[in-house]
C-alpha cells in the first residue's frame, strides 16, 4: 500500500484524476470502477478538466459503479445513478450504454448481483478502481462484519453510515437502510486501486486501514493484501497515523 500525503484537495484532485486519465490514455477501452460520495468529486474535477482540455477521451471506456441504494428511484437526486450523471457522466464523452450500475430495485437480488459480477468479468475486469472510505472503515457499502464478502450482495447499512450519508437527504428518515454493493472480492480483483480520504472524520478509519489488523471489522484493511493500491490523503485524514 503506497500512502501519499498531500497539502490540499487540489493536489489530490490533480494526482488522482491524472492517474485515472492516464489509465484511459494508455488503454482507451479501459474498464473503470467508479465511486460516489463527496470524496469522488475530487478526482472527477480533474478528469472533467482533462476531458475539456482534450487531453483524454472517455468514449471507449466502460464503467462499473461500486454500489446503489435499495428502494430509491434511480431518478431520485440521491441515487448513485443521479450522482454519477450530475457529477461526471454529463460532463465527459463516456457512452451511457457503457456505464453500469447495480439495480437496487431489482426483484431478484441474487440474480442481479450475479449478473453484475459476470458483466465485470465479461468486460475483462476492472483496470482501475476508485474508492473512498466510510468513517467506519467501509469500502463501497461493505460494512464492518465477520467476513470479507466475495461478490456483489445486499447489505443493511450501519447506523453510522446512515448518519454520515444523511447530510445529502432532507432528513435521516429518508436515507435508505439497504444497498447493493460490489463485494470485497470484486474490489480486490481490480488491477489497480486508488483510495482517497480527506478530513479529520476519516483519520481513525485511515489509521485502522493502514496500521491496524487486517480484519473484516475494518473492511478497508483488506486492501493491504492487494499489490497495487495508492492511498491519497490530506494532512487531516493522515492525522492519526503513527
Ligand atoms: C458511501 C459510499 C462509499 C463512500 C463513502 C464515503 O457510503 N457508498 O463508496 O466511500 O460513502 O463517502 P464520502 O466520500 O462522502 O465521505
Q: Measured between alpha carbons, how far is 178 from 158 in angstroms, rounded to an integer?
A: 9
Q: Residue 46 has what pLDDT?
A: 98
Provide mean pLDDT across the span 103-115: 97
231 pLDDT tier (thresholds 50, 70, 90)? very high
140 CA → ligand 1 middle, Å: 7
Q: Measured between alpha carbons, how far is 73 from 77 in angstroms, rounded to an integer?
A: 9
Provide mean pLDDT across the span 198-205: 98
Ligand 1: residue whose CA is nearest its atom 13: 37
Q: Residue 192 has what pLDDT?
A: 98
Provide mean pLDDT across the span 116-133: 98
Ligand 1: residue whose CA is nearest its atom 12: 37
Provide mean pLDDT across the span 172-197: 97
Write phi, then psi, for 47 (nearest 5 degrees).
-60, -40
Q: Residue 170 has what pLDDT?
A: 93
Q: Residue 20 has what pLDDT?
A: 98
pLDDT in tens, 31-56: 999 999 999 999 999 999 999 999 99
Burial label for 234, CB within 10 Å (0-12, 13-18, 19+), is buried
Q: Measured between alpha carbons, how far is 148 from 145 in angstroms, rounded to an integer?
A: 8
97 CA → ligand 1 middle, Å: 24
Atom of ligand 1 nearest to the CA of 157: 7
Which residue stretches of 39-196 are H helix?
41-52, 80-87, 109-122, 159-165, 184-188
In the structure grid, which three cell numbers stand for residue 17, read together? Answer: 484524476
Give 229's strand partners.
193
36 CA → ligand 1 middle, Å: 6
Percentage of the residues of the chain whose pLDDT score is greater than 70 = 100
Q: Residue 193 has what pLDDT?
A: 98
Give 2's strand partners.
230
142 pLDDT tier (thresholds 50, 70, 90)? very high
Ligand 1: residue whose CA is nearest its atom 2: 140
241 pLDDT tier (thresholds 50, 70, 90)? very high
Structure pTM? 0.96
Find the residues whose C-beta lies inside 6 A of ligand 1. 35-39, 66-67, 132-134, 140-141, 161, 165
Q: Measured between alpha carbons, how far is 146 from 179 in angstroms, rounded to an integer?
A: 18
Sheet holding 192-197, edge to edge: 2-6, 229-234, 192-197, 128-131, 31-34, 62-65, 99-100
69 CA → ligand 1 middle, Å: 12
Atom of ligand 1 nearest to the CA of 39: 14
Q: Residue 240 has what pLDDT?
A: 98
Report the SS3 class of residue 34: strand
10 pLDDT tier (thresholds 50, 70, 90)? very high
Q: Residue 175 has what pLDDT?
A: 95
Amino acid at each position: 500500500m503506497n500512502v501519499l500525503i498531500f497539502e490540499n484537495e487540489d493536489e489530490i484532485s490533480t494526482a488522482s484524476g491524472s492517474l485515472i486519465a492516464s489509465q484511459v490514455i494508455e488503454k482507451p477501452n479501459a474498464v473503470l470502477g467508479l465511486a460516489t460520495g463527496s470524496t469522488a468529486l475530487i478526482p472527477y474535477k480533474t478528469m472533467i478538466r482533462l476531458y475539456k482540455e482534450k487531453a483524454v477521451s472517455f468514449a471507449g471506456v466502460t464503467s462499473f459503479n461500486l454500489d446503489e441504494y435499495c428502494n430509491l428511484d434511480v431518478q431520485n437526486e440521491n441515487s448513485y445513478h443521479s450522482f454519477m450523471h450530475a457529477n461526471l457522466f454529463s460532463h465527459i464523452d463516456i457512452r451511457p450504454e457503457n456505464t453500469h450500475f447495480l439495480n437496487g430495485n431489482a426483484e431478484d437480488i441474487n440474480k442481479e448481483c450475479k449478473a453484475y459480477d459476470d458483466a465485470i468479468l465479461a468486460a475483462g475486469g476492472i483496470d482501475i478502481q476508485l474508492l473512498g472510505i466510510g468513517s467506519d472503515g467501509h469500502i463501497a457499502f461493505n460494512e464492518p462484519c465477520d467476513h470479507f464478502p466475495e461478490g456483489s450482495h445486499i447489505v443493511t447499512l450501519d447506523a453510522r453510515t446512515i448518519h454520515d450519508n444523511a447530510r445529502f437527504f432532507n432528513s435521516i428518515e429518508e436515507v435508505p437502510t439497504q444497498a447493493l454493493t460490489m463485494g470485497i472480492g470484486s474490489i480486490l480483483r481490480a488491477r489497480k486501486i486508488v483510495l482517497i480520504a480527506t478530513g479529520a472524520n476519516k483519520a481513525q478509519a485511515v489509521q485502522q486501514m493502514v496500521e491496524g489488523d487486517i480484519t473484516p471489522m475494518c473492511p478497508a484493511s483488506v486492501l493491504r493484501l492487494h499489490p497495487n493500491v495508492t492511498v491519497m490523503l490530506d494532512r487531516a485524514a493522515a492525522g492519526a497515523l503513527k
